[in-house]
Structure 1
Amino acid sequence: MQKLNPTPNHQLSLPIPSDDAQLVSRQLETLIHAEIAACHGVIPFSRYMEMALYTPRLGYYSGGSVKLGADGDFTTAPEMSSLFGATLAQVAQQLFTQSAPEIMEFGAGSGKLAFDILSECQQSQIPLRRYFIVELSGELRARQEERLKDFPQVVWLSKMPTAFSGIVIGNEVLDAMPVELVCKSEQGWTRLGVSSEMSSTASISGFKLVSMDEATDQHVALLTQIPDAAALPNGYLTEVHPIEIGFMRSIATMLMAGHAESGQGGVAIWLDYGFPAHEYYLPQRDQGTLMCHYRHHAHPDPFYLPGLQDITAHVDFTAVAIAGVEAGLDLLSYTSQAGFLLGGGITEVLARIPAEDSRRYLPASNAVQKLLSPAEMGELFKVLILGTGVALPEALLQHDRSHRL
């Protein structure tokens, strides 16, 4: 396999992309450099991340490359096992007694999770009236439409509705939202931006992080996410999550309006990797959690091949929970993915496959083991549930860790 030479920002040897892919990345780089020039030489890191991930036709999530599975950059729980979506459908069935029989998914990607939930609803005769997918990418919507063509309940939306009663699901959605980078120095906390890096010949050669040196009210408010910010050492670099928080407030407003209009409850279930704030901002985590994924390689350089690699940060679940509660929702549960799936009945779903049918049972059992194991996804991934007008069944509360937020 051909390898790329290490960039100045890290010592890596990664699979080389095709010529067409490199051309797409250079086109995106040109757009970002133009944006930086138009903004007097610097843009917030959150804007760089937004452009790298979501620029139409060129960004990582809005382009046409394969993201998931063996040929992509990473694997998600739905891609690993259809039992993940089947378990979510079983959870939904229990909640439909208190809400409208509708689901709204954000970040549907290839449509695999929707397919598994819809298939389980069909097989188990779970009354699902409509399955909404909020999708901004035309390329992703086309993939989803092909995969879900046999399910007439699916409705695509280009924006969040003003009111909704039902179940909102987001699997690995929050971690892909642009973050702000902040760094502590002797002068205090500074928001970091991105500028164009000039080579010795005065030509543009890439990007670099620079201090933005402004103390706006918004900048100061961001630091309230960080517990004991004043006690952290100089040089401490981390992320704060204003877009994530704003998104959660919008979800809360939508669910509260749906409850007020219909009298039926609403629930938002977020599955992602992250920490509560007191674990997120530990002194030893002094370079933050920002991570990039390219062809199943993880590395820390966000300026490497923009548009061809994923850029993520862990979720601050405390900040998300506070945003939802302050907007009127109830904190229903915070737990590990293993705790949620066990409470949702994944072992019962697995037990439908006869153990003597080893060709089916062993792969399914191995996948469930990865979803539940503390050494795999079971502990790294967490589940945050907020809602209004809904009480969770007792099984979903057995492993609750809300006190740790």
Structure 2
Amino acid sequence: MPIPPPDPDAQAHSDRLRAAIHADIAASGGAVPFSRFMELALYAPGLGYYSAGSTKFGRAGDFVTAPELGPLFAECVVEALAPVLRQLGEGADFVEIGGGSGAFAEVALGHLAALDALPVRYAILEPSADLRERQRTRLQQRLPAALFERVEWLDRPREESWQGVLFANEVIDALPTPRFVIRNGEVMEEGVASASDGGFRLVEVPADALMTAAVRHVEHQRGDGAFRDGYRSELLPQLPYWIQAVMGAMQAGAMLFIDYGHPRREYYADNRPDGTLRAFYRHHVVQDVFARVGLQDITASVDFTALAEAGTGAGFEFAGYCSQAAFLLGNGLEQRLAAHEANAPSDRARFSLRQQVQQLTMPGAMGERFQAMGFEHGVAFEAAFLAGDLSFRL
């Protein structure tokens, strides 16, 4: 099925962002790191993919996230995290990183209330002003006033001490990522320069000490020996700093990350010589990340070994790692499905619930491609990962 072309207004928007990126490239001496290009393409104020006003999530957008499918995903996440909130008692917060359309928060708050495990505050750390307003409108319209009053939006991580849970679904994959390539045994960093046709082109410059050390660390651990000439991929040496930034002054609690990705040995295997970088546009996977700039998402899979290193490096203990399917099944998916089926008004509604389960758990859908990883400090969170432990693959 061909990719639909953007309408004139969308194309004009893309042209404005492309011009802004060209200006940034010119001001930087003719090239910028790929991570800078990705940052501008996704987050440039008023122009980037996540900063502008187009619909991103759901069937009318470019991709469907798990919370958009229905209530089961969020309810199972709450089933896993509610015991942590109870252990911490009054004063615990729930912090969601990147709130998407607000679908997760809507269901999560309702189920937390049903479990008598409401946090004192439900905070959404959302960098996009447009998405914040969409979330606010949705939650104000759909939540009881008493629940909506607990919601607040953060422009930056908490600076004051706090305890509770931190949750991020499909967030790390959208962090602006550096790219590297091996040339004659040396580590080079991919950059982006302006092309003569008005688009963009890749260039290569010697990597700095931080990236070189990070690539050699991965190379040593992956188990396939040295990267061969021309091997290219993504790498996030700044991931430990990002984790420490988003948790802020978190003193106790649990962190849960769900995303698509691989353990390190699989991520950097020889049979993946071009990395995992791709774009999404109108439910199509796009390999040309320079196309339709500002109108398509750009993403890279998560190195879950790097995430484990970053979480424990931030002072938390590793709690567990498993596929999304195992995580949801281990945290009440069958029970939540039965409860919704019992209240379903029609056979069609029950069929929709079954389809939701299939999409969340089947290996060819989200079940195996997405994984869950948790960390704990001062609480017990390991029980959430008892089904299908994959930590041996890290």
**Structure 1 and Structure 2 fold alike (TM over 0.5):** yes
Does residue 1:219 correspond to 2:211, yes or no?
A: yes
Over 3 Å counting, the alpha-carbon distance change for 1:68 and 1:33 in structure 2 is same
Secondary structure of 1:170's counterpart equals: strand
* Residues 211 and 237, structure 2, Cα contact 8 Å, conserved in 1: no
Q: State the partner residue of 2:15.
A: 26
Does residue 1:284 correspond to 2:271, yes or no?
A: yes
2:189 corresponds to which of 188, 191, 194:
191
- The CA deviation at 1:187 is 4.5
* Residues 193 and 201, structure 2, Cα contact 8 Å, conserved in 1: yes
1:388 corresponds to which of 338, 355, 377:
377
Root-mean-square deviation over aligned CA pairs: 1.8
* Residues 94 and 393, structure 1, Cα contact 8 Å, conserved in 2: no
Question: Which ranges of structure 1 fall in alignment gaps of 5 or more residues?
Answer: 1-11, 200-204, 260-264
Secondary structure of 1:198's counterpart equals: coil
Secondary structure of 1:69's counterpart equals: coil
1:47 corresponds to which of 17, 36, 46:
36
Instruction: State the Cα deviation string for residues 101-135 of structure 1 (Å, max 9, x = none).
Output: 42100110111110110121233433332100011
| Distance (Å, rounded) in 1 between the aligned partners of 2:217 and 2:12 | 39
* Residues 85 and 92, structure 2, Cα contact 8 Å, conserved in 1: yes
Does residue 1:321 correspond to 2:314, yes or no?
A: no
| Distance (Å, rounded) in 1 between the aligned partners of 2:72 and 2:93 | 20
Q: State the partner residue of 1:399.
A: 388
Q: State the partner residue of 1:105.
A: 96
| Distance (Å, rounded) in 2 between the aligned partners of 1:76 and 1:117 | 15
Moved more, 306-315 or 134-143: 134-143
Secondary structure of 2:100's counterpart equals: coil
Q: Which amino acid aligns with 1:339?
A: A
Instruction: State the Cα deviation string for residues 364-393 of structure 1 (Å, max 9, x = none).
Output: 122012111112111110001012112125
* Residues 79 and 332, structure 2, Cα contact 8 Å, conserved in 1: yes
1:129 corresponds to which of 115, 120, 127:
120
Q: Which amino acid aligns with 2:380?
A: A
Q: Which amino acid aligns with 1:40?
A: G
| Distance (Å, rounded) in 2 between the aligned partners of 1:225 and 1:107 | 30
Secondary structure of 2:11's counterpart equals: helix
Alignment of 1:204-243 (within 5 A): 205-213=198-206, 215-228=207-220, 231-243=226-238
* Residues 164 and 266, structure 1, Cα contact 8 Å, conserved in 2: no
Alignment of 1:4-403 (within 5 A): 13-99=2-88, 100-149=91-140, 150=143, 151-162=148-159, 163-199=161-197, 205-213=198-206, 215-228=207-220, 231-251=226-246, 254=248, 257-259=249-251, 265-354=252-341, 357-392=346-381, 394=383, 396-403=385-392
- The CA deviation at 1:359 is 3.2
Secondary structure of 1:90's counterpart equals: helix
Over 3 Å counting, the alpha-carbon distance change for 1:346 and 1:188 in structure 2 is same
- TM-score between both structures, scaled by the size of structure 2: 0.92
* Residues 375 and 381, structure 2, Cα contact 8 Å, conserved in 1: no
* Residues 350 and 364, structure 1, Cα contact 8 Å, conserved in 2: yes
Over 3 Å counting, the alpha-carbon distance change for 1:82 and 1:299 in structure 2 is same
Q: Which amino acid aligns with 1:157?
A: L
Secondary structure of 2:199's counterpart equals: strand
- TM-score between both structures, scaled by the size of structure 1: 0.90
Q: Following TM superposition, where does structure 1 have runs of at least 4 consecutive aligned residues deviating by more than 6 angstroms?
A: none
Over 3 Å counting, the alpha-carbon distance change for 1:385 and 1:236 in structure 2 is same
| Distance (Å, rounded) in 2 between the aligned partners of 1:358 and 1:371 | 20
Q: State the partner residue of 1:8.
A: none
Over 3 Å counting, the alpha-carbon distance change for 1:354 and 1:41 in structure 2 is closer
- The CA deviation at 1:358 is 2.1
Secondary structure of 2:250's counterpart equals: helix
Instruction: State the Cα deviation string for residues 52-87 of structure 1 (Å, max 9, x = none).
Output: 000011100001000112211111100012111111
* Residues 46 and 178, structure 1, Cα contact 8 Å, conserved in 2: yes
| Distance (Å, rounded) in 2 between the aligned partners of 1:208 and 1:153 | 47
- The CA deviation at 1:258 is 3.3
* Residues 178 and 243, structure 1, Cα contact 8 Å, conserved in 2: no
* Residues 227 and 277, structure 1, Cα contact 8 Å, conserved in 2: no
* Residues 374 and 381, structure 2, Cα contact 8 Å, conserved in 1: no
Question: Which ranges of structure 2 fall in alignment gaps of 5 or more residues?
Answer: none
The alignment of Structure 1 onto Structure 2 pairs a total of residues equal to: 380
- The CA deviation at 1:400 is 1.8
Secondary structure of 2:366's counterpart equals: coil
Secondary structure of 1:353's counterpart equals: helix
Structure 1 vs Structure 2: percent identity of aligned residues?
A: 40
Over 3 Å counting, the alpha-carbon distance change for 1:395 and 1:73 in structure 2 is closer
Moved more, 227-236 or 167-176: 227-236
